[in-house]
Structures are given as structure tokens and as C-alpha cells.
Amino acid sequence: MNGGSRPAIPSVNGAAALASFASLAALLGFEAYGIEIEDALYRASCQLAHDFDLPVRFSHETFLPSGYDFYIDGIARSRHLIRAAADVPQRRWEHEWGVTSEDLDVVYVYPWPGETEFVEDLFDATAPEGALLMMGRDDGELQVMRRIVEDEPGLEGPEADFPEWL
């Protein structure tokens, strides 16, 4: 969603949530984008936006920004965020939309079971200060976090910035 100077990309793993959130954002006047890797969910989201003539742009790929990847822990079967090789090309959504994860104001995510911590780590690593992460939960609740970066006394350089959640 774009409420000011920067667009935001809502990413979700459910067509109902993706289409609903992105469509609502478009109706409210935001630049609305959606990213979905599952083919059927991607097609359903595109169809809904088309049926109601909503200016929502969708991309059929991973929501991971360029420069990031993950590995799956063989024991706990959980995802862990890692930095990818520096020469990884831009994701299609980054190239076509002209944005990166660092340009986001608001991100909506409905993670698959067990991916909540992974999504939080990704947002923590890539979101700009002040960005909001809105995360749908299985219990129907919506969790909202804001990325805040503060300087720790006594530190200088890049290690001086660290995130906190409200």
C-alpha cells in the first residue's frame, strides 16, 4: 500500500487474504500489490481484482527480496533466513514494480503454519524504520508490528542500529 511516498507490497499465502487485503488497499487509494507463489491462489487473486476492475498488480513468485533465501532445518522443519549471493538478480516484482523491500510502508502477510518467526526475521532484516508488518494469524487475530531502529549508546557504525517491535 502506498500512503505517501513509498509503495508497500502485501504478501500472503491465501488467495482470500491476498485478494481481500490488496483489493481493500486499492479501494482506499493505495498503490496495491500482491505476491503469491501458489499458482491457484495467484490466479484466484488476479481474477477477483479483474472482476471488480481494481488496480491491483500481482506477481506470481516468492516474496523473498533479492539477496535473501532460506534453508529448512532438518530436525524442526522450520525455515531460517539467510543472505544469498551478492550476484542474485532482482526478483521479477522488484524489477517490474520498481520497488524493493526497503521501500515498503505496510506489509500484510498470512504465513503458513510454522513460518511466523521466519516472516518476522525477514521483515526485521529488510524493512525500513517505521514500516508496519500486519500478520494474519490462524486464530483470526491480526498482529501489527512497527519496525523501530534505535542507536545503542556506545556503539558506532552499522552495528549501532538494532530493531525493536512495539
Closest CA to 62 of 84, 29, 87: 84
Dist CA 7 CA 30 (whole Å): 8
Quick: pLDDT tens for 41-100. 889 889 988 998 999 989 998 888 888 878 787 776 778 777 877 677 788 888 888 888
Quick: pLDDT tens for 1-32. 444 444 444 443 344 577 788 888 888 888 88
Parse the chain into domains and list their residue ranges: 15-165
Q: What is the DSSP letter of 13?
A: S
Look up the pTM and report it. Answer: 0.71
15-165 carries CATH number 2.40.320: no
Q: Are 88 and 67 in contact (CB under 8 A)?
A: yes
